[in-house]
Structure 1
Amino acid sequence: MAFGRRNEEEIKLEETKIWKCNSDQCKCWVRDNFKSSEVPLCPICKSEMTLTTRELPVIANYSKNFM
């Protein structure tokens, strides 16, 4: 028996579209499928954001409140 062993599931990573804050002082980013408007403003500092990509774990957003 092996106590303390867990079934470790492989975390599936995927190239994901994100919106990154343009401010040098802010490190905020938002997944594209969680944005609040077509071209979102930073939720932290209210600066403009730029669309880019990042390798992230897969998360689905089933809420109808988001675009």
Structure 2
Amino acid sequence: MAFGRRNDEEIVKEETKVWECNSESCNCWVRDNFKSSEEPKCPICKSSMSPSTKELQVIVNHSKNFM
């Protein structure tokens, strides 16, 4: 029964650079390797963002459109 099986693959996490929204009313954040410019604006509220780090699952961005 496929619906009862668990994924036994280990989830790899590492300290990842992110950009967090500076607005108190917004909790948006973007991974550094997915940002749209050198100093991105929040995609939700258009406020400025500041660099930070989070413990996240490893994801590789293969797109050639990111900075």
**What's the TM-score once normalised by structure 2's chain length?**
0.91
In structure 1, the partner of 2:55 is: 55
* Identical columns (%): 72
Structure 1: any 5+ residue segments left out of the alignment?
none
In structure 2, the partner of 1:46 is: 46
**Structure exhibiting the larger radius of gyration computed from Cα positions:** 1
**1:7-64 residue CA offsets vs partner (Å, 9 max, x unmatched):** 4111000000000000000000000000000000000000000000000000000100
In structure 2, the partner of 1:13 is: 13
1:24 aligns with 2:24: yes
Structure 1 stretches (4+) deviating beyond 3 angstroms? none
Aligned-partner Cα distance in 1 for 2:25–2:42 = 12
Code of the aligned partner of 1:16: T
- Pairs aligned (count): 65
Higher helix share: 2
**What's the TM-score once normalised by structure 1's chain length?**
0.91
Structure 2: any 5+ residue segments left out of the alignment?
none
